């Protein structure tokens, strides 16, 4: 019996009164981008500012921030349960150690390629010369250093949570925050310990798997309203920054997006073809996750969808995908940890009139490949850039120069991050002979955003009931 891939950017055959194109997630996102752009421009030219937004600006800001808050709410439990589950799932995979090693190796290889492209573009574009902008930028919220990175690995409490209190206008505000890197360390330790304990840990692992399923269901509900969040996020960015800010850093912005495009549309296709796979099938398979990553700017928030398309579209075995994709969502960042810090470091050096020598370019590459774990979290690119600048001895004030356009750059960076997080497991699975190529090459017949409970019966021969239920992210 032939196989069909269950996930596509567009909707499958559903009993809907709406035309097929209207139910396509891609169409909904594009429409949301246009609506957000128009509303943002209206807000901008009716006097809305970041400090004093008007009614429309405040509405866009509230919608966008609320959607991001919804995504962030699930981050802590998602990372913990996903990483513990991914480590536990290695029990079901033969040659687990070899797969893990190859995954990390290909993470490093693709990151090295990306950072070399970033360095090359920085040298060619000279983004920091002739900018003519004020060197006093917005101060970064975090300053990275290798010492801070290493000490940050040690959790301050079991959940890696912290709290900060601010006093402003006679009001005391307390906010709870989290360190993604510490949560990752805790989850890895717990997962490995559970494997070592053996059968006694089975109830815990079963509970963790159930908790992960519940958390992912909640995230799916959040993901389904992504077009609404897109209107707020894009509209707010345009209302605050407009085109003037982008224009003042135009060469830098263009260099970043050229680099991202080269990695996504040149390097990745070459790697796919080099392993005997269809480039068209790769992009059609991974595109739903890339779309969501672009608008949400969160690799972690996109994790459930990335894992789903990696398994259901690209044919990566579930046991291996549940290890590689969550690991990639926290450590595999070709956009944030490779292209961006390379070009940004060169920009800062040129802006302040500092000449970089060959050894410093090598150091940029080394920091980008080895420091990817520091990008875990919602401010990953900022932390990675400050790590790079501090290692090179460049002025950290340069980070503030780039924060004003960071939301615009972050959309493209996150899209490339997610595409790479799905690519590496596919390559490794192909090289190890465990990739389901029939599923990889199957037509995309469903929608990645439909409810699982509506799934049709799986067409895979002998698929167990639970696989049939989850199979095709459904139409």
DSSP per-residue string spanning 416-449: HHHHHHHHHHHHHHHHTT---HHHHTS-B-S-TT
Check the CA dihedral 445-70-426-208 and report its sign.
negative
Mean pLDDT of the region 278-289: 93
What CATH class does 20-444 carry? mainly alpha
Q: How many helices (H) and strands (E) does the chain have?
A: 21, 2
pLDDT, tens digit, 9 for 90 and up, residues 389-443: 777 777 766 666 676 677 778 889 999 999 999 999 999 999 999 999 999 999 8
> Which residue has better confidence, 239 or 417?
417
Q: What pLDDT, on a 0 to 100 scale, did the predictor assign at position 389?
A: 78
Cα 333 to Cα 104, 122, 152, 184, 260: the distances in Å are: 12, 19, 19, 15, 11
Q: What pLDDT, on a 0 to 100 scale, did the predictor assign at position 181?
A: 65
Residue 21 has pLDDT above 60, yes or no: no
Report the C-alpha gap between 84 and 176 in whole angstroms: 23
Most confident of 64-68, 70-74, 117-121, 173-177: 117-121
With cut-offs at 50, 70 and 90, classify the pLDDT of residue 241: low
Kindly report which listed range (93-107, 179-193, 256-270, 420-434) carries the lowest average pLDDT score.
179-193
Please indicate, yes or no, whether the overall pTM of this predicted structure exceeds 0.75.
no
Mean pLDDT of the region 435-460: 64
With cut-offs at 50, 70 and 90, classify the pLDDT of residue 1: low
Q: What pLDDT, on a 0 to 100 scale, did the predictor assign at position 395?
A: 76
Report the C-alpha gap between 380 and 392 in whole angstroms: 18
- Among residues of the chain, what percentage have pLDDT more than 70? 70
Q: What pLDDT, on a 0 to 100 scale, did the predictor assign at position 394?
A: 79
Residue 176, SS3 per DSSP:
strand
CA-closest candidate to residue 288, choices 223, 214, 332 = 223
pLDDT, tens digit, 9 for 90 and up, residues 131-146: 544 444 444 444 445 5
Report the C-alpha gap between 415 and 303 in whole angstroms: 12
How much helix, strand and coil, in percent to the nearest 5, is found in the chain? 70, 5, 25
Give the residue extent of every domain in the chain: 20-444
Report the C-alpha gap between 246 and 47 in whole angstroms: 19
Report the C-alpha gap between 195 and 43 in whole angstroms: 54
Report the C-alpha gap between 374 and 146 in whole angstroms: 10
Query: H/E element holding 268?
Result: helix 268-274
Mean pLDDT of the region 369-398: 66
Q: Are 416 and 439 in contact (CB under 8 A)?
A: no
With cut-offs at 50, 70 and 90, classify the pLDDT of residue 158: low
Q: What pLDDT, on a 0 to 100 scale, did the predictor assign at position 459?
A: 34
What does the DSSP assignment read for 21-65? GGG-HHHHHHHHHHHHHHHHHHHHHTT--SSS--HHHHHHHHHHH
Alpha helices for 275-405 (secondary structure H): 279-296, 299-312, 318-331, 340-351, 358-370, 380-392, 397-402
Mean pLDDT of the region 139-162: 57
Mean pLDDT of the region 21-42: 76
Q: What pLDDT, on a 0 to 100 scale, did the predictor assign at position 461?
A: 35
> Which residue has better confidence, 150 or 314?
314
With cut-offs at 50, 70 and 90, classify the pLDDT of residue 109: very high
Report the C-alpha gap between 207 and 205 in whole angstroms: 5
Residue 147 has pLDDT above 70, yes or no: no
């Amino acid at each position: 019996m032939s196989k069909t891939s269950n996930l596509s950017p567009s909707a499958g055959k559903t009993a809907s009164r709406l035309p097929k194109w209207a139910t396509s997630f891609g169409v909904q996102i594009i429409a949301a981008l246009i609506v957000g752009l128009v509303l943002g421009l209206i807000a901008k030219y009716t006097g809305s500012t970041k400090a004093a937004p008007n009614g429309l600006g405040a509405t866009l800001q509230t919608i966008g921030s609320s959607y991001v808050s919804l995504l962030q709410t699930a981050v802590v439990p998602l990372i913990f349960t996903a990483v513990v589950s991914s480590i536990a799932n290695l029990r079901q995979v033969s040659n687990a150690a070899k797969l893990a090693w190859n995954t990390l190796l290909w993470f490093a290889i693709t990151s090295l390629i990306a950072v070399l492209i970033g360095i090359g573009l920085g040298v060619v574009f000279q983004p920091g010369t002739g900018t003519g902008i004020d060197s006093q930028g917005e101060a970064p919220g975090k300053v990275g250093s290798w010492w801070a990175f290493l000490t940050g690995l040690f959790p301050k409490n079991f959940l890696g949570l912290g709290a900060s209190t601010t006093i402003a206008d006679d009001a005391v505000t307390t906010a709870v925050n989290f360190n993604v890197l510490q949560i990752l360390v805790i989850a890895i330790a717990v997962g490995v310990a559970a494997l070592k304990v053996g059968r006694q840990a089975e109830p815990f692992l079963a509970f963790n798997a159930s908790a992960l399923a519940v958390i992912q269901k909640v995230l799916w509900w959040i993901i389904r309203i992504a077009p609404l969040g897109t209107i707020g996020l894009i509209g707010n960015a345009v209302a605050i920054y407009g085109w003037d800010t982008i224009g003042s850093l135009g060469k830098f912005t263009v260099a970043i997006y050229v680099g991202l495009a080269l990695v996504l549309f040149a390097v990745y296709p070459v790697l796919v073809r080099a392993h005997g796979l269809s480039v068209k099938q790769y992009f059609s398979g991974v595109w739903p996750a890339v779309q969501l990553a672009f608008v949400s700017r969160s690799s972690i928030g996109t994790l459930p969808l990335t894992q789903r398309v990696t398994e259901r579209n690209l044919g990566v075995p579930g046991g291996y995908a549940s290890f590689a994709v969550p690991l990639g969502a926290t450590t595999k960042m070709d956009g944030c940890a490779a292209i961006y810090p390379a070009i940004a470091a060169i920009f800062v050096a040129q802006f302040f009139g500092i000449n970089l020598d060959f050894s410093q370019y090598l150091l940029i590459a080394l920091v980008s490949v080895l420091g990817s774990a520091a990008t875990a979290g919602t401010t990953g690119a900022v932390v990675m850039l400050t790590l790079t600048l501090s290692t090179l001895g460049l002025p950290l004030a340069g980070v503030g120069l780039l924060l004003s356009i960071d939301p615009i750059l972050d959309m493209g960076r996150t899209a490339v991050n997610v595409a790479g997080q799905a690519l590496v497991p596919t390559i490794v699975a192909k090289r190890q002979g465990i990739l389901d190529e029939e599923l990889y090459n199957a037509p995309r017949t469903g929608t990645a955003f439909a409810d699982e409970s509506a799934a049709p019966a799986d067409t895979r021969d002998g698929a167990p009931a639970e696989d049939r239920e989850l199979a095709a992210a459904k139409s």
